[in-house]
Structure 1
């Protein structure tokens, strides 16, 4: 096994942000430094005239960056120093790298928020103000009741974030104020209204009816809405106040979960756009695109015809921060969306909502377009990759005649040996007969195919369940393929990118329909000669709901699979007490868990509030249904070797689920206890994405499948 191969694959720079200026792209990349066991951020300036890049510079202590609309100003949120002497600074720079303002906000609030859900760093149109979100300062006085008041976190992936506060900074007068309002809601994804310093649009996050704050990462069915905040003019000029009163009003209905507000302006007119999904039910339903009058510009697609647009499926951040482009005679927005087993870029008309795919599959490379980093007029900066081609930064130019041209402006530099090894792999998408829309991404070794050699096959179902495996570059998947395995990445019924009909088909059928699709994927690969039966030939890996599927597959089909590697798996769906998404265990299994948010037009505590909903409790009847739908019901039939990889700080799936599974298997496997192993990762959450943790996870996975003991 080559540790060097893993290190080089995972050290490929990943584009994280880009800013498009007249002749230059300023790009940020995340890289993994295995020597220091950290993730680093580097910056490059790429000339559009010569397509040459400046040497990489490490970005130190910067939490977030935003440019003004003119490109003349840059705002930076910076955290410097160690935890005991942490300094938080808000900086304004001009494009000559001159520092215009610097404010120390260390004593004003806690950590800055720069995640996809709350990131609000932006300039007003006048470029006089910026807004951002940070954690409310915690009380420090001794014996304070407020210090111990119950505050709920926002769940998995948002550690340390309990009470977000929206701040307004007038950098010319050095005045920083928090925005105060009368509504039970937290704001994020904020941006200024057009030609205004006093109007802000934002996504509002609410609790469920029992005041439970459900986890929001990868969950788009939460009580959320689009809100308008108007700063009170009579308080704007009060120089000694540390907060400003805002009048708030909700713009969206309670049955829709809305997020990602964006303002686009053209020909003197401005439109507010956002995306929505039904409140409650599937965590990842098809999105609809709305405009300010709350009519859908792009509606949910129920069952697309073959090859047709399947609907919008966006990531946590929603629409690109600057989605507007002008092309020919029309005005459009552009966005990446999950379309089957890849991400593609679609162009959506602001006139009639028609959708055009800009990046169809044109060759065998199966490129996936995972992000739009920046747009300006008729240009856009995108990220694309495939399972054999690491991430590239690409500039798109929308021609006046309706054409589009793409130019690679940055690509990763790999060693000749690694590039040659990646070129030795072939990738294709295989449809599973009689199980539409089920398909699997198949990664195989070309030489083995030429020699008619069938390699051991690792099937890796995705989590969610409303997520998708896509053909984007994945260092762990490539690593396993280069270690001498065929890798299968199935998309079962319920996966995103195929239409709303197939999202909802899985509701109430978890543990049956998805399991059936996965076993039929394996059987089809055996039938076409891509895999074979027998000990050591059919293997499984997966996390979260993917781990749920693994538990079912080795329990329901013990004669088929030799070995399985679980990452923070759902093993017993009735055990939900510490999960940040307790509704998942009800709604995905066909049990009622109604959610709603504050009504359209809500302006404060004097207006109507939410409808009262009885609490959802795991009764004996509910537990019985969830138990029988869970892998734990099949544990007595498991014969495969099992490796469990558990993060002890997982807020999404209780670590005790995997730990209890380990002990139960040990009790049952008295004759071969070495076939069961578990690694615990202190401080790691659901994704197991720390540099050291991730490396151990995948190196141990490869060793486990090779039959190597610790």
Structure 2
């Protein structure tokens, strides 16, 4: 038997230029390699190109380019670009070796599209909620389907011939599951434009999308519900219309939840991503607060505007601590998971030091030491610079092994809150950034529920 140490790896560069290339996928006939490509530098999550390399000629071309704002595609649908954290599915090609299937974030949904690699035609497959392709074999698709109110199901479908892809019929593989006392509740998705001008007028008309989970009308005699505003992290990520165990938990406890895709979220064109770096702590905070007000107005007969709470993690934690400081009399209590509280302290300790520079509006150079002006700007846009304004009780949930947003961010913030007499509590877990160990996630949810419940009761008295 051959010794593995005797195997010689022969590798060669076959793609062009210097860029972020990932998830190469070979077509069934072995004559094409599809892959995603994006520019080096800037935000981690951005709009990607879908590229094709002919084999063995090594001729490379762009099939789907970066979309700056939106692109009109087959059947008059709008396409906002390719955004995916996991890249192309391991198997994404259809058996004709000319079409492939991708899933991408589109505003508040995950949509799946068939792409014709010959001419770049994009056909969005019909959907309600989010459809994420998990596997492709021959012309069969396995799709993970869910909405905020309906747990995940696996669907199976066969992609029709060219030009008929939008007629695909999906069949349930797994049964429909209902959550007692919750699945009957409605969810609502809508958008609005912030009337406060963006510092760069180019981005002022980018829409903000909201996903609301809870009753949309009140039954006779029912009390109004408290609202949890839950902005996502990233910041270049998104809240999507897919099942959330955590949101369902709080809705079952009597809250309504609103998720906000502020400007900077993915799925709104590359302009949406580019609108935030250099404006963190300003436009994102304002977008989330305006979205909360918009939600309260839309469901005024259901929601109690005197009982609004904040929950968020990572950059979402950055936002909720900022909101607590900028609107000290509006939000009644906060729960922050591994929150970014001081960007100026991050470059030396985070595993992604470039994040601090990019989101603060600077170009990252790996060999450059930040000067005083750079660090001053990072501090200025951080929640810690406004800590004297905070009144709302703050619960901090922290992973002691977090390399992304190290625990020092929350530990020091907690100490400063205590020194100012602000009610605060910190739980330290043997976990990392996502706090997703089963026992840790469960403990976090219970403590958030107890924290918010305590201050819900106090606001009622």
TM-score (norm 2): 0.89
Greater strand share, structure number: 1
**Corresponding residue to 1:533 among 269, 282, 305:** 305
Shift of 1:619: 2.4
Cα separation, partners in 2 of 1:424 and 1:176, compared to 1, 3 Å: farther
Kindly indicate whether residue 387 of structure 2 is the aligned counterpart of residue 635 of structure 1: yes
- Deviations, residues 420-463 of structure 1 (Å, cap 9, x unaligned): x1233111112124463211100112563666753111010000
**Structure-to-structure mapping, 1:329-344, within 5 angstroms:** 331-344=98-111
**Corresponding residue to 2:432 among 668, 685, 688:** 685
Shift of 1:388: 1.5
Distance in structure 2 (CA, Å) of the matches to 1:631 and 1:506: 16
2:145 aligned counterpart, secondary structure? strand
**Corresponding residue to 1:573 among 343, 352, 356:** 343
2:251 aligned counterpart, secondary structure? helix
2:344 aligned counterpart, secondary structure? coil
Partner of 2:202: none
Q: Does structure 2 conserve the Cα–Cα contact (< 8 Å) formed by 1:550 and 1:564?
A: yes
Kindly indicate whether residue 388 of structure 2 is the aligned counterpart of residue 616 of structure 1: no
Q: Does structure 2 conserve the Cα–Cα contact (< 8 Å) formed by 1:424 and 1:446?
A: no
| Larger displacement relative to structure 2 (288-297 or 457-466) | 288-297
Q: Does structure 2 conserve the Cα–Cα contact (< 8 Å) formed by 1:573 and 1:585?
A: yes
Distance in structure 1 (CA, Å) of the matches to 2:443 and 2:13: 47
Shift of 1:308: 0.8
Q: Does structure 2 conserve the Cα–Cα contact (< 8 Å) formed by 1:341 and 1:441?
A: yes
**Structure-to-structure mapping, 1:72-111, within 5 angstroms:** none
Kindly indicate whether residue 409 of structure 2 is the aligned counterpart of residue 661 of structure 1: no
Shift of 1:375: 1.5
Partner of 1:404: 168
Distance in structure 2 (CA, Å) of the matches to 1:446 and 1:528: 9
Q: Does structure 1 conserve the Cα–Cα contact (< 8 Å) formed by 2:333 and 2:392?
A: yes
Distance in structure 2 (CA, Å) of the matches to 1:288 and 1:449: 49
Structure showing greater Rg = 1
Cα separation, partners in 2 of 1:322 and 1:623, compared to 1, 3 Å: same
Partner of 2:42: 281
Kindly indicate whether residue 452 of structure 2 is the aligned counterpart of residue 700 of structure 1: no
Unaligned ranges ≥5, structure 1: 1-172, 178-241, 362-366, 595-613
**Corresponding residue to 1:324 among 83, 93, 107:** 93
| Larger displacement relative to structure 2 (422-431 or 684-693) | 422-431
Distance in structure 2 (CA, Å) of the matches to 1:569 and 1:447: 34
- Deviations, residues 23-71 of structure 1 (Å, cap 9, x unaligned): xxxxxxxxxxxxxxxxxxxxxxxxxxxxxxxxxxxxxxxxxxxxxxxxx
- How many matched pairs? 431
- Deviations, residues 56-111 of structure 1 (Å, cap 9, x unaligned): xxxxxxxxxxxxxxxxxxxxxxxxxxxxxxxxxxxxxxxxxxxxxxxxxxxxxxxx
Q: Does structure 2 conserve the Cα–Cα contact (< 8 Å) formed by 1:454 and 1:529?
A: no
Partner of 2:183: 423
Distance in structure 1 (CA, Å) of the matches to 2:387 and 2:17: 42
Q: Does structure 2 conserve the Cα–Cα contact (< 8 Å) formed by 1:445 and 1:481?
A: no
Partner of 2:130: 368
**Structure-to-structure mapping, 1:118-197, within 5 angstroms:** 175=2, 177=4
Distance in structure 2 (CA, Å) of the matches to 1:615 and 1:449: 61
Shift of 1:616: 2.5
Kindly indicate whether residue 158 of structure 2 is the aligned counterpart of residue 392 of structure 1: no
**Structure-to-structure mapping, 1:502-517, within 5 angstroms:** 502-517=272-287
Shift of 1:554: 0.6
**Structure-to-structure mapping, 1:440-519, within 5 angstroms:** 440-445=210-215, 448=218, 453-519=223-289
TM-score (norm 1): 0.58
1:248 aligned counterpart, secondary structure? coil
Distance in structure 2 (CA, Å) of the matches to 1:451 and 1:393: 39
Unaligned ranges ≥5, structure 2: 54-58, 196-205
**Corresponding residue to 2:12 among 234, 249, 255:** 249
Cα separation, partners in 2 of 1:642 and 1:337, compared to 1, 3 Å: same
- Deviations, residues 368-414 of structure 1 (Å, cap 9, x unaligned): 113x2322222111111111111111101123482311100113655
Distance in structure 1 (CA, Å) of the matches to 2:63 and 2:339: 38
Cα separation, partners in 2 of 1:176 and 1:480, compared to 1, 3 Å: farther
- Deviations, residues 522-550 of structure 1 (Å, cap 9, x unaligned): 1112222344432xx11100000000011
Q: Does structure 1 conserve the Cα–Cα contact (< 8 Å) formed by 2:187 and 2:216?
A: no
Cα separation, partners in 2 of 1:412 and 1:651, compared to 1, 3 Å: farther
Distance in structure 1 (CA, Å) of the matches to 2:6 and 2:211: 53
Partner of 1:119: none
- Deviations, residues 492-531 of structure 1 (Å, cap 9, x unaligned): 0010111001110111111111111001101112222344
Shift of 1:342: 1.0
Q: Does structure 2 conserve the Cα–Cα contact (< 8 Å) formed by 1:346 and 1:359?
A: no
**Corresponding residue to 2:25 among 262, 269, 287:** 262
Greater helix share, structure number: 2
Distance in structure 1 (CA, Å) of the matches to 2:120 and 2:71: 18
2:356 aligned counterpart, secondary structure? helix
Q: Does structure 2 conserve the Cα–Cα contact (< 8 Å) formed by 1:448 and 1:455?
A: no
